[in-house]
Structure 1
């Protein structure tokens, strides 16, 4: 029953993904626990992320724990900036994590201030 809300408020479910062929190199699910699945009787983990892989997506970025909205926003900003500069997904992810960890308190506060107003600093 796993699903994701799409921009037009529709829900895309695991069941709808089964049997589809997606020609996508990367999908990012930047919310809490998006990489978790449920065990089946055969001890397989079935979830949205696995269904995307079966449908042909080459790479997926997910979380397997609760995530903080502000930190996730910083991480995703850093990740996409690096992808746009031509870095590969793994390298972009690694460097984005390092950049987010190295933020100073005043930088995080500037980001928090913009975030609460709906404006992410550049």
Structure 2
């Protein structure tokens, strides 16, 4: 009987799709913060004022660009077939580090 389902491909496709969707959302966020900064509550007036990324427009754009670059590297790491496993892990690691950094920085929210 011929194998019709490949779990490895399915996991890569779902992971790449999720990372690609978030990367597209980052592009929308970058455009919105760049063209209409008055719509974003930067500084002390926002609900997440304790987070570094929301201190100013420059910090927010920097964090969005860093996330976009990290997601792009992670998508490449998932889809690269003929590269070494260490290079692929190194390419995917920035997303995990950025998520951990944002989670630790976001733990100081004043709710």
TM-score (norm 1): 0.24
Which structure is higher in helix share?
2
TM-score (norm 2): 0.25
Which structure is higher in strand share?
1
Q: Computing the radius of gyration over CA atoms, which structure comes out larger, 1 or 2?
A: 2
